[in-house]
Amino acid sequence: MPHVPKPPQSAKPPTPLRSAPAESVSRETLTNKTLPADALPADALPSDALPSDALPIDALPDEARQLDSTHDTMVGFDQESVDSTSLPDIDHEFSMQELFDAELREAIRSVPLQGDEEKFPRVEILGADGQHAALMRIDHPVKLRVRGSLGDYAFAYNSQTVIKVFGNVGHGVAEGMSSGSIRVRGHAGHGAGTAMTGGTLGIYGSAGDRTGGAMRGGGLFVRGDVGNDVGLGALAGTIVIGGDAGNNLGNPLSNVAVFIRGKAASLTPGVTEAPLRKKQEVQLGLLLISAGIRGDATDFRRIVPIAKLAAENAARGEVVPNWR
């Protein structure tokens, strides 16, 4: 039976029942409104990420199977998103159209865990339509599949949860994330992965300004381009950019590892490009695997503080702890 919300004491308008027509849905509050058109670049607006006529990978012609220079599993990711609509492995299903944010979080946290720690319960989230502050502070070892796009601060301060989003997200996705993994099939706005302390955030489209700002740990992968000031204020962690970057890439006083395959419009004063050492190749390879990417680490270059690079060279590859 669909959930019927209680409107009198709440500022949020009543949420329609499952049987209500889609056009009757009201979204006028901060936590449940449609993503504004200017929240993302024009080419990053919510779109149909799953073509209904997608062919199985094995049915594609050879030339279509040849991925671009990223060598990643994008086609596989897309095919999974199509096939999963018919997979009988969904343990629980919740709709963002029928539950308030707090109720949805509580429903996810109440999902019983299985005895096998390696087998997380699978939870399908329906009704994603640009809601802001959605699915924040989930601290439960489950696998979430979200169909549709979300607004700002999606999955902020999450831990343990393994999440896949088949759509776009707004600003501040995974802010303060401490563990688990999040893979976004579409694009992300500004501030993706801000103040992360752990876990893995993978964005398979592009991301905006200040990606990885104030990071303290974890890994952040962006398959496409990023904006300006990437890694601003970051102290630790790993940032991988598969495309190009805007201005002021890097941080001259940071231990964050920044890898880029494309070109940067400009680097922050005090940092430089350098080839990868064997240690960085291993580090980058592990992150690519964690993000579900099949890539060649040697295609990347690292952005490193000039003082740190000098200390590495002086110590024959060993980082001097007091290089700053």
CB 177 within 8 A of CB 156: yes
The CB-based long-range contact list for 204-213 (8 Å cut-off, 24+ gap) reads 204/74, 204/77, 205/44, 205/168, 206/41, 206/44, 206/243, 208/40, 208/41, 208/171, 209/246, 211/239, 212/237, 212/239, 212/256
Specify the pairing of strand 301-305 against strand 162-166. Answer: unpaired
Checking if the pLDDT of 50 tops 50, the result is no
Beta bridge mates, 200:
181, 219
Which helix (H) or strand (E) is 304 found in, with range?
A: strand 301-305
Q: How far is CA 246 from CA 89, 105, 229, in A?
A: 41, 36, 7
* pLDDT tens readout for residues 279-320: 888 888 887 787 667 777 888 999 999 998 888 888 764 555
Token pair for residue 230? 């990437």
How far is Cα 150 from Cα 247, in angstroms, rounded to an integer?
27
CB 146 within 8 A of CB 126: no
Residue 79 has what pLDDT? 42
Token pair for residue 140? 């439960």
* pLDDT tens readout for residues 51-69: 333 223 233 333 323 333 2
Q: Could you state, in order of their start, the residue ranges of all structural domains in the chain?
A: 55-314
* pLDDT tens readout for residues 133-147: 989 999 999 999 999
CB 70 within 8 A of CB 295: yes
How far is Cα 205 from Cα 226, in angstroms, rounded to an integer?
9
Domain 55-314, classified CATH 3.40.109, yes or no = no
| 3 state SS of 280 | helix
Q: Is the pTM of this model over 0.85?
A: no
Helix/strand/coil (H, E, C) string of 104-125? HHHHHHCCCCCCCCCCCCEEEE
Of 247, 257, 236, give the one whose Cα is nearest residue 301: 257
CB 75 within 8 A of CB 51: no
Residue 117 has what pLDDT? 57
Most confident region among 81-85, 242-246, 255-259 by mean pLDDT? 242-246
Of 285, 302, 174, give the one whose Cα is nearest residue 249: 302
